[in-house]
Amino acid sequence: MKNTSLCYIVRDGKVLLLHRTKKENDLNEGMWIGIGGKFEENESPEDCVLREVREETGLTLTKYAYRGIVTFVSDRWEGEYMHLFTATDTEGTLIESCDEGDLEWVDQEAFRTLPQWEGDRIFLDLLEQNEPFFSLKLEYEGSILRRAVLNGRELRRNEK
C-alpha cells in the first residue's frame, strides 16, 4: 500500500483544485481533486503535504490541519492510505503551470458539480461538517464504489 497526501486549500469561498488533464495512465484523469501526491522515503504526512503543495502550486502552507486518513482498496489499482488535510492560509505566488493538470480556484458550491470520485464526495462532506479526525475506507470495483466504512462502521447507501 502506498501513502499519499491530499490537501484542500480554501480561501474566500473558493477551493484550489487540480483538474487532472496532463498525466499519462492517470487513474484520476478528468477529475477535479485537491493538491497532493506520494510520500517520499522517511516523510511524515505533514512533510509530504507541505512538499507536494509547494511543488505543485508554488505555495507554502502556513495554516493547515490533518483531518483524516482514507484507505482506498481497488481491484485495479494499488491500495493507498491517503492522508487528508485542509488549509486556510498560504504564502507565495501560485504557479501558472503544473505537470499533472490545471490549477484553478473554484467556488466551493460549484466544486460539487465537477467530476469527482463517489468516495471523494463522502470525505468532502465529512470535511464540510467539521467531522473530528476520521478513518474512512473506500472499496472500489473499477470506478464503482462498492463499500464505505467510516470509523469502523459500514455506511449504508443512503448515508453517503
Q: Which class is 2-159 in CATH?
A: alpha beta
The burial class, CB within 10 Å (0-12 / 13-18 / 19+), for 13 is: exposed
- Could you state, in order of their start, the residue ranges of all structural domains in the chain? 2-159
* Mean pLDDT, the chain, whole residue set: 90
pLDDT digits (tens, 9 = 90+) for 25-42: 656 566 788 999 999 999
Return d(Cα 51, Cα 61) in angstroms, integer.
9
The residues with which 74 forms a beta bridge, in sequence order, are 140
Predicted TM-score of the model (pTM):
0.91
